[in-house]
């Protein structure tokens, strides 16, 4: 009976870890999503503006790569891309860990179901 209890505890712990992780990271995920949406809007507007320039007769645009405003923009976009990469990698590792824990929990659940009388699982 202690093996069944230990198995049940492991299933509950895996579930609690998943819920705790979702609670801890939901704010950061929303913030990163909001930043991603804002950057995507800025990029969409910039590209739309460039397309509109072709209709006004503009054939070439010169970009000064040494302009501080351009350099700051490039650094900000790079930092956002690195943050996005970090969150993606961290979430991938977490999901891999949880997938393994859930698989183990399902096996233990099935073992518990087999050990318990049929009427008690409802």
**Between 76 and 100, residue with greater pLDDT:** 76
Angstrom CA distances, 49 to 52, 84, 111, stand at 5, 26, 62
Task: Kindly tell me if the per-residue pLDDT of 15 is higher than 70.
Answer: yes
Query: Binning pLDDT at 50, 70 and 90, where does residue 118 land?
Result: low
Burial of 27 (0-12, 13-18, 19+ CB in 10 A): exposed
Residue carrying structure tokens 């977490």: 94
Task: Kindly tell me if the per-residue pLDDT of 103 is higher than 90.
Answer: no
DSSP label of 10: H
The reported pLDDT for the residue numbered 36 is: 77
- With CA atoms as reference, report the closest residue to 32 among 95, 70, 89, 71: 89
Rounded to whole angstroms, how far apart are CA atoms 41 and 71? 20
- With CA atoms as reference, report the closest residue to 28 among 103, 104, 83, 100: 83
Q: For residues 107 and 7, is the Cβ–Cβ distance under 8 A?
A: no
**Between 51 and 2, residue with greater pLDDT:** 51
What's this model's pTM, rounded to 2 decimal places? 0.52
């Amino acid at each position: 009976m202690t093996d069944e209890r230990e198995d049940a505890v492991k299933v509950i712990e895996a579930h609690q870890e998943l819920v705790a992780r979702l609670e801890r990271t939901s704010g950061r995920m929303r913030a990163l999503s909001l930043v991603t949406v804002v950057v995507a809007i800025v990029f969409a507007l910039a590209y739309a503006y460039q397309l509109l320039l072709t209709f006004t007769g503009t054939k070439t645009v010169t970009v000064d790569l040494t302009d501080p405003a351009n350099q700051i923009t490039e650094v900000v976009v790079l930092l956002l891309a690195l943050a996005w990469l970090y969150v993606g990698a961290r979430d991938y590792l977490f999901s891999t860990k949880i997938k393994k824990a859930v698989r183990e929990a399902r096996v233990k659940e099935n073992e518990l179901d087999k050990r318990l009388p049929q009427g008690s699982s409802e």
